[in-house]
Amino acid sequence: MFNKLMMVALLVAAGAVDADVLKLATVAPEGTSWMKEMRAAGERVKQRTEARVEIKFFPGGVMGNDIAVLRKIKLGQLQGGAFSGAELSPVFASAQIYSLPFLFADLAEVAAVRVQVDPLIQAGLQQAGMVAVGMSGGGFAYLMSTQPILNKAELMATKVWVMQNDRIAQVAFAEAGVKPIALPLGDVYTSLQTGLLETVAITTSGAIAFQWHTKVKHVVDLPLSYVMGILAIDQKPFLRLTVADQQVVRDEFAAAFKALDVANLSDNDRARSVLIKQGLKFQVPDAGEIAYWRGIGDATTAKLLAAGSISAELLARIRQAQAEYRQRAAAASGSVAK
């Protein structure tokens, strides 16, 4: 009897030792929809793999900024993290292609494009050594500032933030004659507080999650670019999992990020209402200014293509998917009109 108990104990201990732990970092604060969905997915992974795979999250930027996290992944101290497309651009430049300025007309168009293009971005990341197990849209980013910004001159007069590694935003601001200040996302709140920064671009829900809304007063009511969140895991530790366990991780985080797509829509709508109630002024630029900024968007895309900073093939696939969607939408609209 004693020998049987010892055997059971040894088997349990062996199982514990053999568990694969995936340590994932993110700047997303605890309590946000992002963390709730990811933690729930992590629990499901543990249950479905019978604890062979355990997910440990490090939220709120405790592992440092995106550059530090990518370095720790390379060193094996972390196995992955949740990033924006811009933050993953050092790994795969076109990871941020959805964030080209004024690329999308609306969220319905984004959804239609993503069905075709998300798998291509995932394939590009995989070729670069990262497995994108989840992709979710964060919504459109808007300029928010301590100062009113209704024209180019007013923007140029403020201290504008740009995320490190955000090549698209850097080129866009340069095309507009603006010299932005490049800082990690985790430094923005303090910089707004001290006056080092005055103007930022972020989604409405993101502004509340990071508490930036407490430091700004004005919002330019013009969607600039679409923000993507990607949960990426280093290929080496991922491939050490059994094929069955790899699929469980893929399935659960794909489901979580699909749920986040839905949650983010309502989060952004609610956040907009909250910002308005708290006194932030949403102001739409005049038609001339909007045309000017759309021109800057076109020039930015052309410059990035010429420099090879984004994939011409991938952008062509986006344009094709957009054209197909617009054709279907126009046909449906015509049918309704009849």
Residue type at position 298: D
Is 146 within 8 Å of 192 (Cβ atoms)?
yes
Q: Give the C-alpha separation, 142 to 140, whole Å.
A: 7
pLDDT tens-digit profile, the chain (338 residues): 445 544 445 444 444 447 899 999 999 999 999 999 999 999 999 999 999 999 999 999 999 999 999 999 999 999 999 999 999 999 999 999 999 999 999 999 999 999 999 999 999 999 999 999 999 999 999 999 999 999 999 999 999 999 988 999 999 999 999 999 999 998 999 999 999 999 999 999 999 999 999 999 999 999 999 999 999 999 999 999 999 999 999 999 999 999 999 999 999 999 999 999 999 999 999 999 999 999 999 999 999 999 999 999 999 999 999 999 999 988 887 755 44
CA gap 186, 183 in Å, rounded: 8
- CA neighbours within 13 Å on the CB side: how many for 332? 6
Question: How much is the pTM?
Answer: 0.90
Region of 293 on the Ramachandran plot (φ > 0 left; ψ -120 to 50 alpha; else beta): alpha
Class of domain 2-337: alpha beta
Predicted local confidence at residue 10, as pLDDT: 46
Tell me the residue ranges of DSSP E strands in the chain.
Answer: 20-25, 53-58, 80-84, 130-145, 161-163, 181-183, 199-202, 218-220, 225-234, 281-283
Per-residue pLDDT, 296: 96
What count of Cα atoms within 13 Å lies in the side-chain half-sphere of residue 99? Answer: 30
